[in-house]
Structure formats: structure tokens, C-alpha cells
Amino acid sequence: MKDILRELHSIGVPNHFPEFKSRKNDSCVTCAVVGNSANLIESGYGKVIDSHDNVIRFNKAPTVGFQRDVGSKTTHRLCYPESAYDLSMGASLVLVPFKPLDVKWLASAITTGRITKTYRSVKSLIKCNISTIAILNPEFLRYTHEVWLNKSGRYPSTGVTGVMMALHMCDQVRVFGFGADRFGGWQHYWERLQPKMSLGFRVTGVHDGDAERALLNKLHQEGIIDVYNGAST
């Protein structure tokens, strides 16, 4: 693994996490963490989301065509190899690795394109700002799972992981697009699934949607984060 990290550093990937941006050096750092829930539909949160210094998004969540509800600004995007795609130069790719092959894929994806499959097909080459790429330490996933979620589910979702990351790097954290939609479904805001399919996130057993929602509600009640529920009711 050390050899892979050295290779990444040699081609321009920094050996530190990119700093979160603030409007002024002496001002607080505001962050919007934007989940993928369909409760964002018809929320009208776009301008509020884009007003933050940093906007964290996840996986392949699109903004084009949904700007009124989800905004258009992205400063950090958390993803796996299986959910990565081309990013604008203004956004940092934050890899969430679960296996050594994930880091090997990153080195390949910004150089040779040699790796085309992990446990399934992945994008062989990606366009992104190499100088702002970051790799989340797997220990942070363990910390989130054990300390904050009491080991509920097999591992934390990228969404809750992103909230925990923001809490460690931002002065003010606002959370959008988490939880079920108004009908109790768990589909993404850009999807239109059949009712039976819309429960996927909750019934897979991989993530504990109820435990994660309870955690966010507790943090909101204690004034640590602000949760925007959108069109969930």
C-alpha cells in the first residue's frame, strides 16, 4: 500500500487532505452536506445550498436539471471506484476506500486506465483536479461506525461519513437530502422507481437507515448540525 501511495504522490496527488474553503481567513467555515434523498424534490433548497463555502456531495448525484432543489456548487465529492465519474476542476474527489484495490484503481484511473473492474465494472479513466484528490482513511470509517453508529449496519453510508467529515472540518454544518421521501421511499432524487424498489437502502442490511437518521436527528436537536427535511412530509 505504501508503494501505491508513493506512486500517487509522485504524480501530483497531495499527501494531505484539501483545506475546506472560507470566504475570509477570519470567518467561520460553512458547509452544506447534500444527500441524495428524493425529499429534495420540490424543496427549493438550491440557493441556500450554494450559499455555503463548501458543498459536499456523494457518488454520481447530478446537479444539472435539479439546480433549483439541490444547487449547482460542488467542492468535495465522496465516492467509491464503482460510483466515480468525471468532475469539474473546482471539485475535490474524495475516495472512500474499502479495499487495497480501490486505491490501486485511483492510481490507474488518473494515469493508465489499466483497471477496469473491481467487484464489478468501473470507469477506467476519470477527469478531475489531481492536485485536490484526497483519500479518506479507512480508520475514519471504523470510527464513524463504532463511535457514532454503535456498529449498526455493516458499515456507514457515504452520507453519514460525509457529515462526520464535515463536523471535523467545518464551523457550521447544514445537512440536506437525508432520510426517506414523503411516501417513505428511499430512492434518489433523480430516480423514479417502483414502490417495491424504493425501499432498497433501508432493507439491504448494508446501512442502517433508521440508526443513521436517529443520529442526525440527535445532532440536530443538540444544535450541532442543522437538518433540512425538505419535502419529506
Distance between start and end Cα atoms, the chain: 47
List the catalytic residue out of 52, 76, 188, 207: 207
List the catalytic residue out of 155, 188, 189, 228: 155
Q: Is 119 a catalytic residue?
A: no
Q: Is 220 a catalytic residue?
A: no
Q: How far is CA 180 from the centre of its chain?
A: 17
166-180 per-residue burial string, b: 16 or more CB within 10 A, e: under 16: beebbeebbbbbbbb
SS3 per-residue string spanning 19-77: CCCCCCCCCCCEEEEECCEHHHCCCCCHHHHHCCCEEEEECCCCCCCCHHHHCCCCCEE
By annotation, the residues acting in catalysis are 155, 207
